[in-house]
Structure 1
Amino acid sequence: MSSSVESLLAAAVGGVGGSTRPGQVEMATAVARAIETEEHLLVQAGTGTGKSLAYLVPAVEHAQRVGKPAVVATATLALQGQIVDRDMPRLADALTPHLKRRPTYAIVKGRRNYVCKHKIEGGFPDDEDGLFDVGEADAQAGWLGKEVVRVREWADETESGDRDELVPGVSEKAWRQVSVSAQECLGSKCPMVAECFVERSREAAKDVDVIVTNHSFMAIDAFEGRPMLPDHDVLVVDEAHELVDRVTSTVTDELAPGGLRAAAKRARKFADSAEVLDDLGSDLEAVLEEAPEGRLATGIPDALAAVLGRCRDVARSLLTEMKPPKGEQVDGTRQVALVAVEEVHDTAARMLEEHELDVIWVSRDLRRGPLLRVAPMSVAMRMRERIFGTGASDDDEAVRDRTVVLTSATLELGGTFDAVAGTLGLRGPGAPEWTGLDVGSPFDYAQQGIAYVAEHLPAPGRDGLAPQTLDEIEALVRAAGGRTLGLFSSMRAAKEATEAMRERLGDDFPVLCQGEDMIGTLVRDFARDPRTILFGTLTLWQGVDVPGSSCQLVLIDRIPFPRPDDPLSSARTQEIARRGGNGFMAVSATHAALRLAQGAGRLIRRGDDRGVVAFLDHRMIKARYAGFLQRSLPPFWPTTDRDLVLGALRRLDQIAPPPQPVAEPGRRGMTGQASAPVADPGPADGARTAVVRGEGWSAQDDDELRDGVDLGLPLTELAESLDRDEDAVAARAQTLGLAVPPLG
């Protein structure tokens, strides 16, 4: 088996004129062995290892041998695009002569990504959000009306129904007029199910070798108890350091006064008693207004419990009342109303259960008002059962017999896999068997990079960047000749540093800041001009890949601990401490170590890169947990010698080669070779991908925000379209690197 995989890997890599690397071969062999023995595998593979091909080759070989697809789940769209647009096509070309047929692949997408033929034909009568009459849309003469006309015309012509084929695209609000969520779908009861794009593409997915999806979709497939992916016995989770956060956000729920009123509005057409639910919206708002913001650590107060109980009971009664008369089919509008009321019932019931692992907290939104949210403190046990298969029932034989491979450049924290394994449910009594493997990196970090800690600076405070810290940033940037990526713990700090450096550096070194343009545009501008400086926060910590001389200095302003008032982090810390563990090390230090490893990894992206990672927080060497953080970083050459570092940066600036060519973005349409891209039959569309100001954001929300920004919509219109507070929209836009005009 291993020799076969090694030869296939060599063929795949050689197909593009390359040669295999030791770590890549070691990883591919380990993945093949794990699949054969049905054991789980954690693989840390540094940047430049070529880990995508290292897991794709054994996955394809196994899929063709057993006749089942392998599933690859990633955290980012960028990696999904890389796999489908670059890795799988070249792998297919190279391996076709060595396999019984050409490898095939597809992307699994949510139902919202496809046109609903039934909705186009008027299957959702009186849809309050609909603009189905073309004349009415024409009469509006606005951007939304014009988009609806265009997307309806396209819907009559498309063969796949895939939104990616609509070029140029349209806003999410327009797209909703021709699509449905998984919850709204009528399923097998739909009169047009035989013509459904989703069902046809889902059926085609069963015959491909590799299905590419995302963490949230994969988690919903595992947790909802009904299959949305074809039967598979190999699951590869890339960017696995993100998995726990994605799973947690997927199973986070909220109850908001506005949500109750919206559900009541939809239900009013089918139930006279819907007004009671509308009144409960006001009752919930009044109770939450009196509640302090933050976690309900001592339980749900009596007044809030009473309102939640009524929400649950009223919603249950409405669901009974809203059932269609005997013999009558559920139409689209009734289905949407049922889904809205059912969500109210399920969320209120979940909160009232006060499960020991659930954290409930109150947050406030300037536009939406007070909100109540619930999320699991830990998903470790649920992941152990539903992803790794330990404890799964006999009915879940496919889950129990599945091999899971998790890989990332940052899985070892503090020199061990234990911290990450614990969050995944792979430690403790009853944990499944697994192997941890670090295949290293092709880079010589000690020769290529310096880890500098500015121990002379004052400790980071809450009042912004200290004058000494700004002086240090200026000195480092000038020595580097620009070429600087600044990673900050908050947008406030990034903006403060941006303003200060623009004033201090003048026109010598252009300073870009996250939020002023699209992330991709900012990164391309940064990569083109070696004098340019780029400052930002979380997105840049993980998503920037700029090899070459344009990035020779990475600045990290402070250790990125989670916020002390974060409900989930504080609850996890307290629970671990209650059980006798070290909550700070298990939660805050682990979180910080992961972010630091990701951030420091921006410096060395290829074998001839050189540079400095500068930590402007002396706790990196002086705090009791410093050793743990240091062991989580790439093994750079460490120093606190400021003069040495400034001299090294000046020399690197003097001998730096021209910057690497920058590729312009392309647009991907349909991918895959044996079938069209695949959609799901399950509720992935509502999966929350982030929490902004305590509020869950879904992939749909992000898509609509991007589309609106592309159309040039001002902040006020974006907020109205998303039904969100303007501050929350602005904050999410900054995280995504979107530049939003401030005025409507």
Structure 2
Amino acid sequence: MPKPDLPSVEDLLTTAVKELGGAERPGQVKMARAVQDALEKSEHLAVQAGTGTGKSLAYLVPAIRHAAGSEHAVVVSTATIALQRQLVDRDLPRLAEALEAELPKKPEFAILKGRRNYLCRYKATVGMPDDEGDQLFDPREVSATGRMVQKIQEWAEETETGDRDELVPGVSEQAWRQFSVTARECLGAQRCPSGGECFAELARERAGLVDVVVTNHALLAIDAMEDFAVLPEHDVVVVDEAHELVDRVTSVVTDELSDTGVGIAARRAGRLIEQGVADRLQAAAEDLQSLLAAAPPGRIDDLPNSLGMSLALVRDAAFGCLTALGPRSGDKDNPENASLRKAAFTALDEVHDTAQRMLDAFGGDSEVDRAEVVWLDAGHGRVPPTLRVAPLSVGGMLRDKLFGDRTVILTSATLALGGTFDGMAAQWGLGTDGWTGLDVGSPFDHTRSGILYVAKHLPQPGRDGLPEAYLTEIAELIEAAGGRTLGLFSSTRAANAATEALRDRLTVPLLCQGDDSTSQLVKKFAADPATCLFGTLSLWQGVDVPGPSLTLVIIDRIPFPRPDDPLSSSRQRHVAAKGGNGFMTVAATHAALLLAQGAGRLLRSTTDRGVIAVLDPRLATARYSSFLLNSLPPYWRTTDPQKVRQALKRLTTPT
């Protein structure tokens, strides 16, 4: 625990705010005290802190104080690259300068990413066989990839970090894959000829010497779930953007199987073992290809005999290749051959284990006994039809692996859904004890600054696109606002349809996601108050436009998961089979989270004013509406379209 001669967290926060030129915010002080209290008691803490609270400073100051008085680093995990960069490039450097005189030494920090994000010196030097070399490519794409490869080779001669994010503009995954390895493909620093100068190892060494390590949710999950340590030793984790944690962890523990992946494993093995053994795996890949090409996409509730036989063939053929490869420690003295063997073992292990995992997923006697769901994604372009398997819940994993032996602080602007932290806590695997939930509020006066308008008079949304009444309502709201509108739609199809239908009706510029890169579209939208921007999921959470350019946020419908979404529908059914309310636990919680994130786009500074317009009348009429409304900030509410148009005209008319 921190040494008694360290300044209090309140004094350090006051110093930091003063040095950084800010103003004290009650919510920030309350949060910093709560974080410090949780660290002292070794209890988990969930903190909802609205936009403008200054939550980064509120957790960084007590985290740095804790690190200064202990032997371990504090790990800060984020969901987005944007927040990672904000912390590493802006917040932490300024904070370290501000607190240097108050602490025994200047706080140090580092960023740590997954191994695939760093250039592999050995692979860049000796090269590796191309797993996809026998596939057909568009010559123009091959040429473009060649230029990217040359760019990486030139950069490799000068980079000091090997971090892929240094490459601006970026390169394709196909090009980067030729210069990187996964953690499982890596030979290890002791066996690799380039181990002494490995960029990933050097980054990890730096991270082991600092006070604060910034990483991402995926790497945090890998560190918690795998048998090998990825992050340096630590006893405290701060999870920022914690509303994303479950989805990111689910992605990490989701496995996939396709004929392409099986074929790559067969080719890697074929370079090292008797061809006939590898050919059996290639034949199993071709059998899987034929089966998946004819199968309907979607959730697979019962294992068809044909699929069960195909998966067993893949598993057994992969095991045959693994056996033929011999001891895993072979070829210690031949690095090039050792790297080929490691790549083969990695691909074969993944194919074998995933096929077995999919077979095991159907082992339960009833829905209650099931722990995982299997589904088929339809192929598109060069991506083949792909089987996927994911857990129905990651709460148990998080409880055992993440929360078990460290103190975890979870924070976001959106955690208290329906007015309580219980829903998110259940998803994280936290019980009723050992954690505290705290809402420190927001510096915004939502009641005076914003209106939540629900278009109760409109028909319920259907499955056949946007009704004409919705298009008319959108047009009238935008005209009243004089542009200045962010349209958040539940699907790409709806966003495109609204754009196509309204471009001729409106006199203001209308941008749609997909017209350009999202970052460029947001820049154009922010630069011209008359402009409107329509889009889907990434805009619900990724837009920060303070000022008059964003006065109206339109949400076309309550963002429930698609009824045919394999994972969410399976999770709903599983909860119901265990006696719970699957709709409220899964679908309504998902919708509440996204609604709150979407509504959060409106007020980004204390001087912002505007309207959230939800066109879906169910937000005013359905039995679950109170749960959704209680998840939103306390805006002034109305269902009167005339009042809203008048308010928008007043807001956008110069005085």
TM-score (norm 2): 0.93
Counterparts of 1:223 and 1:103 in 2: how far apart (Å)?
Answer: 29
Q: More deviation in 571-580 or 618-627?
A: 571-580
For residue 372 of structure 2, what is the aligned residue in structure 1? Answer: 358
Q: More deviation in 493-502 or 360-369?
A: 360-369
Correspondent of 1:245 among 244, 247, 260: 247
For residue 278 of structure 1, what is the aligned residue in structure 2? Answer: 282
For residue 638 of structure 1, what is the aligned residue in structure 2? Answer: 637
Counterparts of 1:327 and 1:549 in 2: how far apart (Å)?
Answer: 64
Q: More deviation in 52-61 or 517-526?
A: 517-526
Post-superposition Cα deviations, 1:289-340, rounded to whole Å, max 9, x if no partner, equal 4544322213x22222122122212211211212376765442223222211
1:371: how far off?
2.2
Alignment of 1:155-304 (within 5 A): 155-166=156-167, 169-187=170-188, 188-272=190-274, 273-298=277-302, 300-304=303-307
Alignment of 1:220-619 (within 5 A): 220-272=222-274, 273-298=277-302, 300-323=303-326, 329=334, 330-354=337-361, 356-367=370-381, 368-389=383-404, 400=405, 402-427=406-431, 433-505=434-506, 508-619=507-618
Supply the AA of the counterpart residue of 1:417.
F
Counterparts of 2:259 and 2:145 in 1: how far apart (Å)?
Answer: 28
Cα 1:642–1:159 change in 2 (3 A) is closer
Is residue 77 of structure 1 aligned with residue 91 of structure 2?
A: no
For residue 690 of structure 1, what is the aligned residue in structure 2? Answer: none
1:344: how far off?
0.5
Q: Is the 8 A contact 1:241 1:408 kept in 2?
A: yes
Q: Is the 8 A contact 2:332 2:338 kept in 1?
A: no
Supply the AA of the counterpart residue of 1:358.
E
Counterparts of 1:510 and 1:579 in 2: how far apart (Å)?
Answer: 51
Counterparts of 2:391 and 2:166 in 1: how far apart (Å)?
Answer: 38
Post-superposition Cα deviations, 1:600-640, rounded to whole Å, max 9, x if no partner, equal 11111111111110110110010010111110000000011
Q: More deviation in 619-628 or 198-207?
A: 198-207
Supply the AA of the counterpart residue of 2:456.
E
1:575: how far off?
1.3
Cα 1:471–1:158 change in 2 (3 A) is closer
Task: Give the match's secondary structure for 2:38.
Answer: helix
Counterparts of 1:465 and 1:576 in 2: how far apart (Å)?
Answer: 32
Is residue 56 of structure 1 aligned with residue 57 of structure 2?
A: no
Cα 1:333–1:232 change in 2 (3 A) is same
Cα 1:129–1:622 change in 2 (3 A) is closer
* Pairs aligned (count): 630
Q: Is the 8 A contact 2:484 2:530 kept in 1?
A: yes
Counterparts of 2:533 and 2:202 in 1: how far apart (Å)?
Answer: 45
Post-superposition Cα deviations, 1:684-703, rounded to whole Å, max 9, x if no partner, equal xxxxxxxxxxxxxxxxxxxx
Correspondent of 1:114 among 113, 118, 123: 118
Counterparts of 1:6 and 1:13 in 2: how far apart (Å)?
Answer: 11
1:520: how far off?
1.2
Counterparts of 1:129 and 1:502 in 2: how far apart (Å)?
Answer: 43
Cα 1:544–1:283 change in 2 (3 A) is same
Task: Give the match's secondary structure for 1:423.
Answer: helix
Q: Is the 8 A contact 2:544 2:604 kept in 1?
A: yes
Post-superposition Cα deviations, 1:417-443, rounded to whole Å, max 9, x if no partner, equal 11111111113xxx6510000001111
Cα 1:171–1:12 change in 2 (3 A) is same
Post-superposition Cα deviations, 1:29-80, rounded to whole Å, max 9, x if no partner, equal 0001101110000000011100000000000110111021110111111111
Task: Give the match's secondary structure for 1:121.
Answer: helix
Counterparts of 1:336 and 1:327 in 2: how far apart (Å)?
Answer: 14
Is residue 9 of structure 1 aligned with residue 24 of structure 2?
A: no
Supply the AA of the counterpart residue of 1:537.
T
Counterparts of 2:108 and 2:649 in 1: how far apart (Å)?
Answer: 50
Q: Is the 8 A contact 2:525 2:549 kept in 1?
A: yes
Task: Give the match's secondary structure for 2:234.
Answer: coil
1:126: how far off?
4.2
1:125: how far off?
5.2
Counterparts of 1:51 and 1:129 in 2: how far apart (Å)?
Answer: 46
Supply the AA of the counterpart residue of 2:205.
E
Counterparts of 1:417 and 1:540 in 2: how far apart (Å)?
Answer: 25
1:166: how far off?
4.4
Supply the AA of the counterpart residue of 1:385.
D
1:201: how far off?
2.4
Cα 1:605–1:326 change in 2 (3 A) is closer
Alignment of 1:704-715 (within 5 A): none
1:361: how far off?
1.3
Q: Is the 8 A contact 1:127 1:333 kept in 2?
A: no
Counterparts of 2:103 and 2:436 in 1: how far apart (Å)?
Answer: 29
Cα 1:153–1:604 change in 2 (3 A) is closer
Cα 1:12–1:260 change in 2 (3 A) is same
Cα 1:147–1:24 change in 2 (3 A) is same
Task: Give the match's secondary structure for 2:93.
Answer: helix
Counterparts of 2:151 and 2:297 in 1: how far apart (Å)?
Answer: 45
Q: Is the 8 A contact 1:5 1:58 kept in 2?
A: yes
Counterparts of 1:48 and 1:283 in 2: how far apart (Å)?
Answer: 56
Post-superposition Cα deviations, 1:369-405, rounded to whole Å, max 9, x if no partner, equal 432110001111111111110xxxxxxxxxx1x1100
Task: Give the match's secondary structure for 2:308.
Answer: helix
Counterparts of 2:225 and 2:637 in 1: how far apart (Å)?
Answer: 44
Q: Is the 8 A contact 2:492 2:536 kept in 1?
A: yes
Post-superposition Cα deviations, 1:490-539, rounded to whole Å, max 9, x if no partner, equal 1111111111221101xx31000111111111111111111000100111
Supply the AA of the counterpart residue of 1:488.
F
Q: Is the 8 A contact 2:191 2:332 kept in 1?
A: no
Is residue 38 of structure 1 aligned with residue 42 of structure 2?
A: yes
Supply the AA of the counterpart residue of 1:477.
I
Q: Is the 8 A contact 1:24 1:50 kept in 2?
A: yes
Cα 1:545–1:150 change in 2 (3 A) is closer
Cα 1:610–1:153 change in 2 (3 A) is closer
Counterparts of 2:295 and 2:183 in 1: how far apart (Å)?
Answer: 34
Cα 1:517–1:150 change in 2 (3 A) is closer
Q: Quote the sequence identity (%).
A: 58
Counterparts of 2:542 and 2:169 in 1: how far apart (Å)?
Answer: 25
Counterparts of 2:32 and 2:182 in 1: how far apart (Å)?
Answer: 38
Supply the AA of the counterpart residue of 1:229.
L
Q: Is the 8 A contact 2:480 2:645 kept in 1?
A: yes
Counterparts of 1:371 and 1:326 in 2: how far apart (Å)?
Answer: 34
For residue 679 of structure 1, what is the aligned residue in structure 2? Answer: none
TM-score (norm 1): 0.82
1:16: how far off?
2.0
Q: More deviation in 307-316 or 250-259?
A: 307-316
Post-superposition Cα deviations, 1:204-258, rounded to whole Å, max 9, x if no partner, equal 2111111111111101110112210001011000111111011111111111122
Correspondent of 2:69 among 65, 72, 86: 65
1:144: how far off?
3.2
Supply the AA of the counterpart residue of 1:375.
A
Cα 1:586–1:43 change in 2 (3 A) is same
Counterparts of 2:423 and 2:222 in 1: how far apart (Å)?
Answer: 24
Counterparts of 1:463 and 1:156 in 2: how far apart (Å)?
Answer: 55
Supply the AA of the counterpart residue of 2:342.
Q
Counterparts of 1:236 and 1:244 in 2: how far apart (Å)?
Answer: 15
Q: Is the 8 A contact 1:552 1:612 kept in 2?
A: yes
Cα 1:94–1:516 change in 2 (3 A) is same
Supply the AA of the counterpart residue of 1:361.
W
